[in-house]
Amino acid sequence: MSIPGQLLRLLNLLADGRFHSGTELARLISVSRSAVWKHLRALDELGIELLAVSGKGYRLQRPLQLLDSEHIAGLLAPRARSLISQLEIHPALASTNGYLSALAQQTPATGRVCLAEYQSAGKGRRGRGWVSPFGHNVYLSVLWRYQSGPGALAGLSLALGVAVVRALSRAGISEVGLKWPNDIYWRGRKLAGILIEVSGESSGPCHAVIGLGLNLYLPPAQAEAIDQAWVDLIQIMGEDIMSSRNRLVALLLNEMLPVIADFEHLTLQGFIDEWRKLDCMLGEAVNVYIGEQAFAGMVRGIDEQGMLLLEDPQGKLRAFASGEVSFRST
């Protein structure tokens, strides 16, 4: 999917959150008033909330800070900057993971970072969609190549969960926890998710596309499609967080990129103690779904390999390498 240049110019004008008349907008982007109206309707379809007031014009419900590669690069730590071969920002993609997965088949690139303002087919786990309205959240993917095979990357999602919590802590966000294997929670509600797609020979080399979706603001109309408890940063921090979007991306890259680059050597052992302190499922009653099968029990943490430990009603401990976990009432 692409977004017309006139629509992007309109967005840049409206990003300040102030009122602009239809006549002013039409003049500045060199279109008719009726074309402005069509563009404004298109913004609504992208998940951008507009306020129209007679005599004053149009403004966004809240200002936007659009992503800017130079702004982000200027905030990167030296190590993170050295690990990026290219940082690209797209107005719209089907998905950032999908874009880099296709790129990985065409070039030997590594260290590619891709961000999008909007995803028309954002990816969640197990084929689910990821709600991706324009300009409100973080949709971020990294392409990295490893000399070892996929087996050497076991536990990478857990390590990256720790990295994301570190970044959020640097942004002043507390009470964040981790839900096995790749979700970031705040007070029992999902704030972010990690999706890692690995391709390559079993004995190596391989490449991984690491995706992160983080909720800064989910408009109510888009949030209706989410079938689990969720939260966004506006609810946690207030609306000022929307003016720190580029800084937040830089904080995430500063923490995530060294973990991605060094994981073959560090392995999960470098992160497991910190992950356990952040475990928001420990002692909780859950169901673990493997295909059509459901296993009920109490979470007893993770083992040294990062497998989920579940105690069944008979007191037997079972380890899961993968699965879908949902909280349940006791």
Residue 119 annotated as part of some ligand binding site: yes
Residue 97 annotated as part of some ligand binding site: yes
pLDDT score for 124: 65
pLDDT score for 289: 92
Measured CA to CA, the distance from residue 64 to residue 50 in angstroms comes to 12
- Please check the confidence at residue 277 and state whether its pLDDT lies above 90: yes
Pick the residue with more confidence: 130 or 172?
A: 172
Measured CA to CA, the distance from residue 330 to residue 310 in angstroms comes to 15
pLDDT score for 128: 65
pLDDT score for 50: 87
Band the pLDDT of 11: cuts 50, 70, 90: confident
Residues forming the active site: 125, 190, 328
In DSSP terms, 8 is beta-bridged to none
Most confidently modeled range among 44-53, 215-224, 252-261? 252-261
Residue 246 annotated as part of some ligand binding site: no
Single-letter amino acid, residue 169: S
Tokens standing for residue 64: 């936007």
| 248 neighbors 171 (Cβ within 8 angstroms) | yes
- Please check the confidence at residue 201 and state whether its pLDDT lies above 90: no
Residue 168 burial (10 A CB sphere; 0-12, 13-18, 19+): buried
Percent of the chain beyond pLDDT 90? 62
For Cα atoms 188, 191, 192, give the angle at the middle one, nearest 5 degrees.
130
Residue 107 annotated as part of some ligand binding site: no
- Please check the confidence at residue 276 and state whether its pLDDT lies above 90: yes
For Cα atoms 57, 65, 95, give the angle at the middle one, nearest 5 degrees.
110
pLDDT score for 49: 84
Number of residues written out for the chain: 330
pLDDT score for 47: 79
Per residue in 114-166, pLDDT tens? 999 998 887 665 556 667 788 889 999 999 999 988 988 999 999 999 999 99
Decide: pTM greater than 0.85: yes
Could you give all domains of the chain from N- to C-terminal order, each with its CATH number?
5-60 (1.10.10.10), 69-276 (3.30.930.10), 281-327 (2.30.30.100)
Tokens standing for residue 297: 């029990």
